[in-house]
Amino acid sequence: MQRLDVESGSPIDAGRSVLARADGLLGAGQSFLIETTLSGNTYLKMMVRAKSLGYLVVLLYVGTNDVSINLERVQARVKMGGHDVPKEDQLRRYPRSLANLRKAFGLADEAVVYDNSGPKGHVEVAVKGPLGLRIVQPVPEWAGFLRS
């Protein structure tokens, strides 16, 4: 699988490159994956398009109980030489991402949702696949839609 270098340009240019590449791969019927915050509608629309083209759409979502966890982890990453994400971007994206999770989960043919709130790594919350839906209790507050 070819990796697209998105680190070398502006975030907007990188986003455009990813979308153009994904569009080309969809048109060619090739498998691919995309990492996203899921804070916009672009990738939801792409999921719909992929399904209409016969793709198996798989969602892996990693969430946290509170945006403060994300803020702390980004700052820790920056201290270790990793890339920063402005605080205002994180604060804006967090609720949007959770709202879009419900939609994306419904669109996906298969999905796994993880809670990464704790210090010991991610915990499986839900699995959706050919054998149905399995919910692991207790469901974190941020994934409350899974309770209904």
**Interval 17-41 mean pLDDT:** 95
Residue 2 in any domain: the answer is no
Domain hosting 111: range is 56-147
**Interval 15-30 mean pLDDT:** 93
Q: Please tell me the total count of domains within the chain.
A: 1
pTM of the model: 0.89
Q: How far is Cα 61 from Cα 36, in angstroms, rounded to an integer?
A: 9
Residue 107 in any domain: the answer is yes
The residue count of the chain comes to: 148
Residue 121 in any domain: the answer is yes
Number of H helices, E strands in the chain: 4, 4
Q: How far is Cα 90 from Cα 104, in angstroms, rounded to an integer?
A: 20
pLDDT for the residue 12: 81
Q: pLDDT at residue 113 above 60?
A: yes
Mean pLDDT of the chain: 92
Q: pLDDT at residue 69 above 90?
A: yes
